[in-house]
Structure 1
Amino acid sequence: MTPMKEDYLKIIFELGGKSKKISNKQIAMGLNIAAGSVTEMVTKLVEEGLAKHTPYAGISLTEEGIQIAEIMVRKHRMWETFLVEKLNYKLSEVDSDAEVLEHVTSDHLLDSLDKFLGYPTHCPHGGVIPDKEGNYQEDSHTLLADVKEGATVKVDRFIDNHELLNYLDEIDLDIGDRIHVVHHAPFEGPTTVKLLDNESPTDERQISYKAAHYVFVQED
């Protein structure tokens, strides 16, 4: 399997494609590629039995696709944890190196890395790490963009995307932040949120439309 196919399976998995339909637009945004180029790869994944596509609804993973995605996610997020915890990488720096390392990681190396890190269950940007037997607690799949105005939620995880992580670092939004959703601007405008745990009671952030679709939250 090519690294590109593996990357598609990973992003579909991250976006919730184990149990729901993911659009081509979501995949394109997550991989920073043109939406038109997604169709061809989606067709290949369906032909190989790794995904199933429903017209006008989206794509989800088959059991075989899920199994491959879980393995790749485990490798990628384990290396991210190592790079951040042991080599002091910034969160926004880890994706490219973890991407290289995951594709050359043997099962023995992965098991050794898991033991060395103390069997972590989540990576630094909040994503779940399946254990050796494939067990894990399901990620949150509630998008900040879908939270009703006036609701209070906690930031649970970010999509593993270099551009996104740099952006969130710049606006100082972190895993675990409690936020009050003030307003979703129309026509793909930003989402305004208020950070509740900061000293300033008026500490507001404007989060871009694209980023709001790759920040996952939980009810507070």
Structure 2
Amino acid sequence: METIMTPMKEDYLKLIFEIGGGSQKVSNKQIAISLDIAAGSVTEMVTKMAAEGLVEHEPYAGISLTETGAKLAVELVRKHRIWETFLVSELKYALPDIDDDAEKLEHVTSTKLLNALDDLLGHPKRCPHGGVIPDRNGHYEEDSHRILNDVKDGETVVVDRFIDNRDLLNYLGDIKLDLGDQLQVIKHDSFEGPILVENLTDDSELSIGYKAAHYIFVK
């Protein structure tokens, strides 16, 4: 089947890469939460993308990128995150404001322009919200894919990266949670309630929403 790329398919590829990398399986629920859409819509799109050879979907096991899907995702992620880095470091954009413009710019960026930006920025390895930036040969260091929501009570972890989502980044700015902060999980409230953590870096207690805890990756 011929693959016709659309902005929505590209968003799915980038997101699956962001939450599962090149090989890990992700669930419909993770995609639905991250894109804020109904699980049925995710199933429909994933079925389409599987037929086109972009993803593999094993019922009850999860969704992962195929070799073709992973290659496309790496190219998209590299463009997007290099633009994000440029907007923050050179144009002093606030972190929550970078995604929309980076999204527009990535679609009109040639390989020549991308490599020139990469040279200008000194070949950054991470974007401003902590995500890995693949190099021009498609090589990258695998991200942590463990989300805060999965950390057990009493465990201590370090904030490694955030999903690139404007509402999330505004929220994290409000509660003053930063990359590199050390968190001790105190308790998970039941019925998809918030997670209570102690921020050992800032010596403060935070209540982090259930949805936000799916967007925060730790190690």
For the aligned pair, the TM-score class normalised by the smaller chain equals over 0.9
**Equivalent in the alignment of 2:212:** 211
Identity of aligned residues (%): 65
- Please tell me the residue identity of whatever aligns with 2:133: I
- Please tell me the residue identity of whatever aligns with 1:211: A
Q: Is the 8 A contact 1:145 1:191 kept in 2?
A: yes
**Equivalent in the alignment of 2:64:** 60
**Equivalent in the alignment of 2:134:** 130
Matched, 1:167 2:167: no
**Equivalent in the alignment of 1:48:** 52
**2 CA distance for matches of 1:216 and 1:135?**
21
- What RMSD in Å do the two structures reach over aligned CA positions? 1.0
Matched, 1:98 2:95: no
**2 CA distance for matches of 1:81 and 1:102?**
12
**1 CA distance for matches of 2:198 and 2:181?**
10
Unaligned runs of 5+ in 1: none
User: How many residues are matched?
Assistant: 215
Per mean C-alpha deviation after superposition, the further-off stretch among 2-11 and 24-33 is 24-33
Q: Is the 8 A contact 2:21 2:143 kept in 1?
A: no
Matched, 1:88 2:92: yes
1:33, CA displacement in angstroms? 2.2
Matched, 1:29 2:37: no
Q: Specify which of 109, 116, 120 is matched with residue 112 of structure 1.
A: 116
**1 CA distance for matches of 2:154 and 2:45?**
39
Runs of 4+ residues deviating >3 angstroms: none
**Residue deviations 1:128-147 (CA, integer Å, cap 9, x gap):** 00000111110001111111
**Equivalent in the alignment of 2:146:** 142
Per mean C-alpha deviation after superposition, the further-off stretch among 61-70 and 158-167 is 158-167
**Residue deviations 1:49-69 (CA, integer Å, cap 9, x gap):** 010101122211101100000
Matched, 1:72 2:76: yes
Q: Is the 8 A contact 2:56 2:65 kept in 1?
A: yes
**Residue deviations 1:81-102 (CA, integer Å, cap 9, x gap):** 0011111111111111111111
Q: Is the 8 A contact 1:17 1:59 kept in 2?
A: no
**Residue aligned with 1:194, SS:** strand
Unaligned runs of 5+ in 2: none
**Equivalent in the alignment of 1:186:** 190
1:3, CA displacement in angstroms? 1.4
**Residue deviations 1:25-50 (CA, integer Å, cap 9, x gap):** 21122122222211221111101101
- Please tell me the residue identity of whatever aligns with 2:22: K
Matched, 1:152 2:152: no
1:162, CA displacement in angstroms? 1.3
- Please tell me the residue identity of whatever aligns with 1:213: H
**1 CA distance for matches of 2:167 and 2:195?**
18
Q: Is the 8 A contact 1:154 1:217 kept in 2?
A: yes
**Residue deviations 1:154-185 (CA, integer Å, cap 9, x gap):** 10000111111111111111101111111111
